[in-house]
Chain A
Amino acid sequence: MISKTEISRRSARGRAVLAALTASSVLALSSAAALAQDFDPQAVINIGSLYEPQNLDNTQGAGQGINEAFNGNVYEGLFVLTDAGEVEPKLVDSYEISEDGLTYTFTLKEGVTFHSGDPLTAADVKSSIERVTAENSASSRKRTLAVITGIETPDDQTVVVTLSAPSISLPYNLSYVWIVNDAAGDISSGEDGTGPYVLQEWRRGSALAMVPFDGYWGEEPTNGGVMFQYFTDATAQNNALLTGAVDIITSVQSPDALSLFTDNPDFTVSEGASTTKELMAYNDRVAPFDNATVRAALARAVDNEKLLQAIWGDYGTLIGSFVPPTDPWYEDLTGVNAYDPESAQQMLAEAGYADGFSFTLDTPDYDPHPVVAQFLQNELAKVGVEVKINIITANEWYTKIYKAHDFDATLQEHVNHRDIVFYGNPDFYWGYDNPEVTRLITESESVSSMDEQTEMLAEANRIIAEDAASMWLYLYPQIVVSTSNVSGYPLNGLNSQFFVSDIKKAD
């Protein structure tokens, strides 16, 4: 799901994220790793962020900032989505899936306690899942857990989940479910999780501090605590890093600011893999975009590399489709419908648009969309296609495009991990309807192994790429900058997570 909060927060700041598991990130890591030998286990790590949570409950519209601060740090799930994109058991010791794929039996880890001192029991897991699926839950993950029909707790260490249909992604989806003490009550301004850190204090509009939890079941953090300092302005955040008020900033807003850090030995600039994709979504229901040849022709008419260079300089990646490198079914598809204006013109002629056509591009009013729209206008004019740019607000986007499907084409950034599933839903705003893709995506959920799921979704991805279902422009870069004596932080920040327990600060 794209969450509205995420969209509107991005609107205000044009979030910088993204990815490329490229050599550059490895390089940055190795230089940071050299310093990791000698660190101060008592050091408090100051982290600058633009994403302050609105409250502390991830089912109550707290925004992406709560995932950044709390996922894996204060709360843990039965499973964890690691920074590399793998799903691994966390609070689950082992689990079994029944033959028909409809029953999951989870055995919980022993010796796990909540910050309040209560032991973790099956009842806590049941109530935690129910928090997300509850009627008043605003969690964007609610829908993916709708297949759950029952949760049984035969004993304190065992949870049995029954499903209405097989769901190979259940462990992945459960990695979003915080395990909260069932006695905790309202957690919108407090917490009771099992993670390596305890919330120390949160001052709205300013900072959130947490300290290591003495009774943590797993490995001890390599620092003496962290403080997230929240900024409303990217320049103020950069200044804080420059003056040493913070040690790390979780995302860099614009390439202009990077020059402050790249040539300075006091700082480390790292590029990780993001999941945020900039795309032009056609309304595939309406002419001429119901014609795959037209869509493919437009894809060939646009030089994505030049666009990425113009917006991000040397950062960011081209992926040729909707699947980012941290999704298991990623494949480099930049060769499909690659830049080739001559064949674009031919294909337009074949489709009956030798003289071109014109369409309206509904463009959200925040960065980078207006710039992207102008670039597309120029590129497409060269093949005779006229783009009329119509600037709209995030709220109009939601009502006109997302709800009413009343548009020719629009620009949007999609932030989530594993979201190719949108192409399997013909009712989604872009209205892509290919029965084969719908089948692959639907059935990939009921297969019995991850390998099969991966194979089917990779196939679906190839089909949408050839069909040019949308115009995928580029993957944003995910850039983290730190002072050079700090290491061990996550680079990819998948789904906004920012695991802090391995961060080390040299003396």
Chain B
Amino acid sequence: MLRYMARRLLILLLSLFVAAIVLFVLLRLLPGDPANALVGVGATPEQIAAAQAQIGSDQPLAVQFVTYLGDLARFDLGKSFVSRAPVIEEISRRLSVTLPLTLAAFLLSMLIAIPLGILAAVKSERWYGLLLSVVSQVGIAVPVFWLGVLLVYVFALNLRLLPSGGFPLRGYGDPARAVTSMVLPVLTIALIMSASLMRYVRAATLEVLGSDFLRTARALGESRTGALMRHGLRNAAVPVISVLGIELSTTFLGAVVVEQVFSLPGMGSMLLLGIQQRDYPNIQGVLIISTLLVLLTGFLADLLQRVLDPRLRKEARR
């Protein structure tokens, strides 16, 4: 297990390194100099040169690249071209919005999808089992922003129960407002996510229900529910967890859209703004941290699968 973890971690770091290179190259492939975006259109050549020197875009690409990798190795993401603030500070402030948003939505979607998915499988022949499958199928087709707008229309504009967007100035220092402003965004992501998750849970449960070991357990005198609880769910969990890992990553990335709809100061809006302003350090910072989080999620999902399924552990030992 330990060796396996070490190997996985090594792969993780390597992937991150490759991602960092790809990022750097892609950004530099864009035409134009970010210094132009920084000074005004009416800027003199001297002003542009000064701006280039300030952000280092006058250096040869190779030098820029080595500096970038060196900084990265020391976990230094640099300073924003535009705001001059250290990128890592800005990211940590933004993560304090995006991470709770993603995790809360993720937990809520599991709370919705797992019981309903199991129910849809166990009662697949009843009308409500069917209804659940249909609803989840429809849910997959709904675009995130559309659901967000719909929820705002109902809960903010008509019922006036919740704010339509924004985040309080003092952040979590104003806990009531911080929490209420998160409710609709969390709900938006969770509903969409639980639709697809429910289908996976249902499929995995159905497969287990038809398996030989469950039939054997029932033959040994267990009730259907008892057999499912004791032997079935653990088996059904293995494929679901790998899907969960992927879902969590997509939710995190999908937060870009939701943050835009609700004007939340998270990572997504930071990335969009960075792209608009050619703020390379901010773009790089957000993407590297996002990549790291996605890789870590995959890593954790893998470990969890191994804990649940002894067969995988054996394979690894071989």
Query: A residues touching B (Cβ–Cβ < 8 Å)?
Result: 1-5, 7-9, 12, 54-55, 60-61, 135-140, 142-143, 188-189, 201, 203-209, 227, 229-233, 235-237, 239-240, 242-243, 245, 395-396, 398-399, 402
CB contacts (< 8 Å) of B62 on chain A: these are: none
Taking a contact as CB atoms under 8 Å apart, the answer to whether A138 and B165 are in contact is no
The distance in angstroms between the C-alpha atoms of A189 and B221, with both chains bound, is 71
Q: Which of B112-162 contact A (CB under 8 A)?
A: 149, 152, 156-157, 160
Give CA–CA (A382, B106) in the complex, Å. Answer: 59
Q: How far is the CA of A236 from the CA of B264 in the complex (A)?
A: 10
Whether A245 contacts B269 in the complex (CB less than 8 A), given A231-B263, A236-B263, A398-B36, comes out as no
Most chain B CB within a 10 A radius of its CB, from A142, A232, A242: A232
Contact of A232 among B152, B160, B171, B269 (CB under 8 A): B269
A128 and B268 alpha carbons, distance in the complex (Å): 36
Q: Are A227 and B169 in contact (CB under 8 A)?
A: yes
22 interchain pairs, CB-CB under 8 A: A3-B42, A4-B39, A54-B83, A138-B47, A140-B43, A188-B84, A203-B170, A203-B171, A204-B83, A204-B93, A205-B265, A205-B270, A206-B171, A229-B166, A232-B273, A236-B166, A237-B263, A243-B164, A245-B165, A395-B31, A395-B32, A399-B31
CB-CB under 8 A from B261, the residues of chain A are 233, 236
Whether B193 sits at the interface, judged by CB under 8 Å, is no
With A3-B42, A205-B264, A395-B31 known, 6 other A-B pairs at CB within 8 A are A205-B167, A205-B266, A207-B169, A233-B260, A236-B165, A240-B166
A61 near B38 with CB under 8 A, answer yes
B166 CB contact (under 8 Å) in A2, A142, A245: A245
Kindly state whether residue B1 has any CB partner on chain A within 8 Å.
no
Residues of B contacting A402 with CB < 8 Å?
Answer: 41
| A188-B83 contact, Cβ under 8 Å, with A4-B39, A54-B277, A402-B41 | yes
User: Complex formed: what's the CA distance from A349 to B46 in Å?
Assistant: 47
Q: Is residue B51 within 8 Å, beta carbon to beta carbon, of the partner chain?
A: yes
Q: CB-CB < 8 A to A135: which residues of B?
A: 46, 50
Q: Does B237 contact A (CB under 8 A)?
A: no
CA distance A341 to B171 in the complex (A): 59
Q: CA–CA, A240 to B90, complex, Å?
A: 25
Name the contact of B163 in the complex, choosing from A61, A243, A396 (C-beta under 8 A).
A243
Judge whether B37 and A8 touch: CB under 8 Å.
yes
Are B167 and A4 in contact, CB atoms less than 8 angstroms apart?
no
- Give me the interface of B with A, judged by CB distance under 8 Å: 31-32, 36-44, 46-47, 50-51, 54, 82-85, 90, 93-94, 149, 152, 156-157, 160, 163-171, 260-266, 269-270, 272-273, 276-277
**Interchain CB contact under 8 A, A242 and B157:** yes
- Which of B47, B149, B169 contacts A203, CB < 8 Å? B169
B269 touches A205 (CB 8 A): yes
Known: A189-B85, A232-B260. A201 touches B51 (CB 8 A): no
Q: Which residue of B lies closest to A395 (CB)?
A: B32
With A135-B46, A189-B85, A242-B157 already in contact, the answer to whether A231 and B165 are too (CB < 8 A) is yes
- CB–CB B157/A239 < 8 A: yes
Chain B residue contacts of A204, Cβ below 8 A: 83, 85, 90, 93, 265
Bound form: Cα–Cα A235–B85 in Å: 29
In the complex formed, the residue of A with least CB distance to B48 is A138
State the CA gap A7–B67 with chains docked (Å).
Answer: 32
CB-nearest residue of chain A relative to B83?
A55
Bound Cα distance A138, B276 (Å): 18
Please, which residue of chain A has its CB at the minimum distance from the CB of B51?
A138
A8 surroundings in chain B (CB, below 8 A): 37, 276-277
The answer for the CA separation of A399 and B163 in the assembled complex, in Å, is: 43
Asked if A4 and B85 sit within 8 Å, CB to CB, the answer is no
Please determine whether A3 and B41 come into contact, CB atoms closer than 8 angstroms.
Answer: yes
Chain B residue at smallest Cβ distance from A228:
B169
Complex Cα–Cα for A100 and B197 (A): 80
**In the complex, what's the smallest C-beta–C-beta distance from B149 to chain A, in angstroms?**
7
Docked CA distance A255–B276 (Å): 25
Contact: B43 with A230, CB < 8 Å? no
Are B163 and A245 in contact, CB atoms less than 8 angstroms apart? yes
With A206-B166, A235-B149, A240-B166: A1-B40 Cβ-Cβ less than 8 Å: yes
Which residues on B sit within 8 Å (CB–CB) of A236?
164-166, 261-263
In the complex, residue of chain A having the shortest beta-carbon distance to the beta carbon of B90: A204
Q: How far is the CB of B101 from chain A (nearest CB, A)?
A: 13
A399 touches B265 (CB 8 A): no
A402 to B41 CA separation, bound complex (whole angstroms) = 8
Contacts of A136 in B (CB 8 A): 50, 54
Q: 3 smallest A-B Cβ distances: which pairs?
A: A205-B265, A1-B42, A239-B164
A209 to B170, alpha carbons, bound, how many Å?
10
Nearest CB in chain A: distance from B151 CB, A: 11
Are A140 and B40 within 8 A (Cβ)? yes
Shortest Cβ distance from B287 into chain A, in angstroms? 17
CA of A1 to CA of B42 in the docked complex: distance in angstroms?
A: 6
- B157 smallest CB distance to A (angstroms): 6
Taking CB as reference atom, which chain B residue is nearest A239?
B164
A138–B43 contact, CB under 8 A? yes
A138 touches B265 (CB 8 A): no
Are the C-beta atoms of B276 and A60 separated by less than 8 Å? no
Question: In the complex, A205 Cα to B166 Cα: how many Å?
Answer: 9
Residues of B with C-beta under 8 A to A55: 82-85
What B residues does A229 contact at CB under 8 A? Answer: 166
Tell me whether A61 and B165 are in contact in the complex, defined as CB-CB below 8 angstroms, given that A135-B46, A203-B265 are known contacts. no
Find out whether the CB atom of A61 lies under 8 angstroms from the CB atom of B82: yes
- Given A204-B90, A204-B93, A138-B38 contact (CB < 8 Å): yes
A4 CA to B42 CA, complexed, in Å: 8
B residues within 8 A CB of A231?
165-166, 263
Contact B46 A398 (CB under 8 A): no
- B134 → A minimal CB distance (Å): 31
Contact of A239 (CB < 8 Å), options: B41, B44, B165 = B165
Chain A residues contacting B260 (CB-CB under 8 Å) are 232-233
- The answer, among B40, B157, B167, for a CB contact under 8 Å with A5, is B40
Contact B42 A140 (CB under 8 A): yes
